[in-house]
Amino acid sequence: MLTEKTTPDRLESAPAAVKPAVPVDDLICYFEGAYVPMRDAKVSIMTHAFMYGTAVFEGIRAYWNPEQHTLYGLKIREHVERIRQNAGMLLMDGLPSVDALVELILETVRKNGFAEDVYIRPSFYKSSRQIGVRLHHLEHELYIIALPFGNYIDTEAGVRVMSSSWRRNMDETIPARGKIVGGYVNMAFQKSEAELNGFDEALVMTADGHASEGSAANLFVVRDGVLLTPPVTDDILEGVTRKAILEIAANEGFPIEIRSIDRSELYIADEMFLVGTGVQVSPVIEIDHRAVGSGEVGPISRVIRERYFAAVRGRLPEYRHWLTPIGEGG
């Protein structure tokens, strides 16, 4: 649950965000072709993306390893490949190449000399100042921000979730796989409903009643030692972290089954956890006032969580292919 109030020097909606060494406005971002202080990165209220949500974005983490004095960007290339695909859904073309966009992200982080965990958000957005709902015949621009960032939710003892009354937006309405800014209003309804009812997170259902994912996190369930996760056709984000967890599970020898999950299965699951850039690996200990398994973090969840956090900080050689060293903190 949220544990801090937002202040001018803190990342909005980041409950355990690390206070930057300098004010957020002084951090360097990439904005419409130049590296500028955040205070100078401004758009008009007429900007199409502001009025209609016509933008796509990525959330990328970089993890600080104090022993190696190195910041490791996590699966940056995979995130870049996804945002380029998603921008295409919104009829954006002429985008930077994968290599060029990766370098813009790395340089944005380098210019801030971080020596702490960081959240990176690139976004392609419709920049035309025009009234009218459409995707075509509009210009687009790119921004990249990078800020110190801690835990999105407190996960040490496990999180409590509720089944949201709000359904996931279907692929034929606003595709969940697209990370489309306007579509996140759907998640906002879910997240606020859960928190205002005393829970940490929402669990969202598809239109036909199958478990989809969290408000902004993919879902994993353990039953009889088998790791279950919904297919991408159940209106989920094709999560980069989800793929990483599937890799860890396979390497640890855990059986995996990708299939639709009934709501009632959640109530009889042995373990459950959410994964994503924000929530990282968050074990679920309660759903809809029902304990998940023993009501404590389960053994499979614990192994995956421990392996994941060791991997992202560069402590497991077998997962070094996930990481891009960004350099020493200043």
CATH class of 24-148: alpha beta
From CA 54, how far away is CA 130, in angstroms rounded? 12
- What is the tens place of the pLDDT at every residue in 224-239? 999 999 999 999 999 9
Q: Provide the pLDDT for residue 157.
A: 79
Percent of the chain with pLDDT over 70: 91
Break the chain down into helix, strand, coil percent, rounded to 5: 30, 30, 45
Q: Which one from 42, 75, 111, 179 is the annotated catalytic residue?
A: 179
Which of 121, 120, 122, 118 has the alpha carbon at shortest distance from 150? 118
- The alpha-helical segments, DSSP class H, found in 111-213 are 184-196
Residue 85: strand, helix, or coil: helix
**pLDDT tops 70 at residue 21:** no
* Cα-based angle 183, 184, 190 (whole degrees, multiple of 5): 120
Mean pLDDT calculated for residue range 141-167: 88
From CA 229, how far away is CA 18, in angstroms rounded? 32
Find the range with the poorest average confidence among 118-127, 241-250, 319-328. Answer: 319-328
**pLDDT tops 60 at residue 330:** no
Residue 327: strand, helix, or coil: strand
Residue 178: strand, helix, or coil: helix
Q: Provide the pLDDT for residue 230.
A: 97
Longest CA pairwise span in the chain (Å): 55
- In the residue annotation, 179 being an active-site residue is answered as yes
Phi-psi category of residue 75: left, alpha or beta, with phi > 0 → left and psi -120 to 50 → alpha: left
Instruction: Please state the three-class secondary structure of 290-310 as a single string.
Output: EECCCCCCCHHHHHHHHHHHH
Which of 287, 262, 272, 277 has the alpha carbon at shortest distance from 308? 277
Q: Provide the pLDDT for residue 150.
A: 76
- What is the tens place of the pLDDT at every residue in 283-299? 999 999 999 999 999 99
- What is the tens place of the pLDDT at every residue in 195-221? 999 999 999 999 999 999 999 999 999
Across all residues in the chain, what is the average pLDDT? 91
Q: Provide the pLDDT for residue 208.
A: 92
Residue extents of the structural domains in the chain: 24-148, 159-312
DSSP state for residue 99 in the 8-state scheme: H
From CA 116, how far away is CA 309, in angstroms rounded? 15
Residue 137: strand, helix, or coil: coil
Q: What is the pTM of this model?
A: 0.90
Q: What fold does the segment set 159-312 form as a domain?
A: D-amino Acid Aminotransferase; Chain A, domain 2 (3.20.10)
Residue 19 pLDDT class (50, 70, 90 cuts)? low
**pLDDT tops 50 at residue 70:** yes
Q: Provide the pLDDT for residue 16.
A: 43
